[in-house]
Amino acid sequence: MTVYEIHAFKQRTKNVLFQVFALMGLLFAVIVLVLLLINVIKDGAGRISSEFLTSYPSRNPKNAGIIAGLAGTLYMVIITALISIPIGIGAAIYLEEYGKKNRIGKLIEINIANLAGVPSIVYGLLGLGLFVRFFSLERSLIAGALTMSLLIMPTIVIATREAIKAVPGGIREASYAVGATKWQTIWHHLIPISFPSILTGIILAISRAIGETAPLITIGALTYVTFLPSNLKSPFTILPIQIYNWVSRPQAGFHEDAAAGIIVLLVFTLLLNSIAIILRNRFSR
Amino acid sequence: MRFGLTRRYYVYGREKVVQVLLLLCALVSVFTTLGIIIVLLLQTIDFFKEVSLWDFLTDTQWTPLFADKHFGILPLLSGTLLTSTIALAVSVPLGLMIAIYLSEYAAKPVRKAVKPFLEVLAGIPTIVYGYFALVTVTPLLQKLIPSLSGFNALSPGIVMGIMILPLVTSLSEDALRVVPNGLREGGYALGASRLQVSLSIVFPSAFSGIIASVILAFSRAIGETMIVAIAAGQLPNLTANPLNPVSTMTAYIVGVSQGDTPYGTLSYNTIFAVAITLFLFTFLLNIISFRIRKRFLAIGGD
């Protein structure tokens, strides 16, 4: 072999080695995910039953169920969506279409980027100080939903802006050319066209709201709830808090309950995530 | 004619109303920030009326709920930095390798398959990762390291690394991808191999973008709550040994929120003092990352 051939061989080997390493890294991540799923299913699948889904928590791990957390999560997510989606989309439209060059626009823009990086537990303390204490909403469903709305708003704003930005400029110009006003252009063209992408962002944000635990612990969502929330001011619990409560107990029986709760939680969040991914793949071309 | 004019006024008025409504939506974000700062500051001021800033920053014990009260943030800070450092030690090398692979090597179908997988990893609720750290990873590690206690910094650190892996990978890949193709072609023209081009040309060109992604990952690790609250032990411990139980700033806040410490007491106000420390830390890191990223992306073009 000539020197050049040896050199080429060395380079090729390194190249292949790097790819092997990178794939092993990926494989490691895959293995962790599989391990996680297998363990949770192994621990919890035996507990999944219609009784588990429809029972209240109990001091006996064998009788405990998740209905309170399930209902609380459902109510909280619906209220959160009703609050955060219109405001989030509105803010995104303002930033993208109106507030582009002025100072306020820039300030708000930087501000939202920063808010997206604020740890969720800090939102919990905001909710505690503002909604629970200052507005005396107590540890209620509405206080939790408002807190969660503020938490997921930046995600919705950022996703919606990306979606609107991706609409070709020609569509705006065509709309203006036939005499439409700015708002008519936005309402009749930009929003419908970017809707699939906006929806993708919203689904991801909602999925996050379902899994968030810390902020609602901070505002004082309960861990032992034996009733369903009846109105906006009802105390409540959510599925992740119920799971956290079970994980924190030493008895193995409660760990099974926790694993079973996790299976239910994962079904929801992974379902939403895959819907989002499918939506995006279908519409992003 | 008249009708047309009225209609024009009507349309104009509606445009204005809509614009104001949209502005109000956007202002919610500003009020959120102000709300965070005001809420945290008010209670923190109460806290510092009774505890000196000097004690807060230098005392080596954190025991606000005990009879012998100490208010030194250092144990919480060390716990936070310890778990976050472990998380970075897992996610940065792994994430960068995967990012380089995806951006420089992988065929399009591979990339298309890997991205959703990473998104699944990112979509798993942190409480699930916490359970995984406590129930699966810790016992597994204890087989390797018998001296590992049931609660420790290592296991949640590793699991947190897995959690932030998608963040590091996707942000770094963005940074690698905006490196202009001309640079790659220049490298190939000189006879460099793909690995040489990736590591000696593309990677250094994207370096500031990669640093930005690492800083952001660090900030995320510092703010992560449930994994450490479940698996790290909630024991404020000034230690650099990952085998010991520790508490982090976030885990402490969760611990007190759950307990029966009455609102408004000095012990309760500690969580606001801790939260403002956390907020300042992550805020600073986010700003730095944002700045670097913005400048970098502006240079990278695209």
Query: What distances in angstroms separate CA B187 from CA A3, B73, B264, one per listed residue?
Result: 21, 50, 64
Could you tell me where the beta strands, DSSP code E, fall in B52-116? none
Could you read off the pLDDT of A149-162 as tens digits, one per residue? 999 999 999 999 99
Question: Residue A24: CA atoms inside 13 Å, Cβ hemisphere, count?
Answer: 7
Question: What does the DSSP assignment read for B8-56?
Answer: HHHHHHHHHHHHHHHHHHHHHHHHHHHHHHHHHHHHHHHHHHHS-HHHH
pLDDT at residue B299 in the model: 57
CB nearest B29 (choices: A91, A93, A124):
A91
Whether pLDDT at A283 is above 80: no
Stretches in chain B below the pLDDT threshold 70: 1-4, 297-302
Contact A232, A194 (CB under 8 A): no
Residue B290 forms contact with A (CB below 8 Å): yes
Residue B151 forms contact with A (CB below 8 Å): no
**Cross-chain Cβ contact A118/B42 below 8 Å:** no
CA distance A99 to A90: 12
Residue B278 forms contact with A (CB below 8 Å): yes
CA distance B134 to A62: 21
Burial of A49 (0-12, 13-18, 19+ CB in 10 A): exposed
Q: CA A255, A256, A262, A264 torsion: positive or negative?
A: negative
Angle, to 10 degrees, between the axis of helix A252-284 and the axis of helix A3-44? Answer: 130
User: The whole model's pTM is what?
Assistant: 0.92
A218 vs B296, which has greater pLDDT? A218
Q: Which of B148, B111, B115 is nearest to B246 (CA)?
A: B148
pLDDT at residue A230 in the model: 82
Using 50, 70 and 90 to split pLDDT, how confident is the model at A59? confident
Contact B242, B161 (CB under 8 A): no
pLDDT at residue B302 in the model: 43
Angle, to 10 degrees, between the axis of helix B2-50 and the axis of helix A120-127? Answer: 90
Query: What distances in angstroms separate CA B149 from CA A127, B142, B230, B277, one per listed residue?
Result: 35, 8, 14, 28
CA distance A89 to A158: 9
Å between B241 CA and nearest CA of chain A: 24
* Domain A65-284 part of CATH 3.30.465.10: no
Mean pLDDT of A113-129: 94
Contact B138, B228 (CB under 8 A): no
Contact A132, A219 (CB under 8 A): yes
Contact B33, A111 (CB under 8 A): yes
Residues paired with B62 in a beta bridge: B71
Average pLDDT, chain A: 90
Residue B167 forms contact with A (CB below 8 Å): no
Interface of B with A in 77-96 (CB under 8 A): 94
Please give the distance of CA A257 from its chain centroid, rounded to a whole number: 23
Q: Which residues of A touch B198 (CB under 8 A)?
A: 18
Å between B101 CA and nearest CA of chain A: 6
Whether pLDDT at A222 is above 80: no
pLDDT at residue B3 in the model: 59
Q: Which residues of B touch A162 (CB under 8 A)?
A: none
Burial of B20 (0-12, 13-18, 19+ CB in 10 A): exposed
Contact B270, B207 (CB under 8 A): no
pLDDT at residue B94 in the model: 96
Q: Which residues of B touch A14 (CB under 8 A)?
A: 193, 195
Query: Which residue type is seen at A189?
Result: H
CA distance A132 to A119: 19
pLDDT at residue A107 in the model: 83
Burial of B221 (0-12, 13-18, 19+ CB in 10 A): buried
Angle at alpha carbon of residue B18, lines to B16 and B20, rounded to 5°: 70
Could you read off the pLDDT of A72-89 as tens digits, one per residue? 999 999 999 999 999 999
For B122, the token pair is: 């990112």
Residue B226 forms contact with A (CB below 8 Å): yes
Question: Residue A171: CA atoms inside 13 Å, Cβ hemisphere, count?
Answer: 16
CA distance B200 to B185: 13
Query: What distances in angstroms separate CA A127 from CA A77, A208, B39, B220, one per listed residue?
Result: 16, 17, 9, 20
* Most B-contacting residue of A38, A122, A136 (CB-CB within 10 A), to test interface: A122
Angle at alpha carbon of residue A31, lines to B221 and A242, rounded to 5°: 55
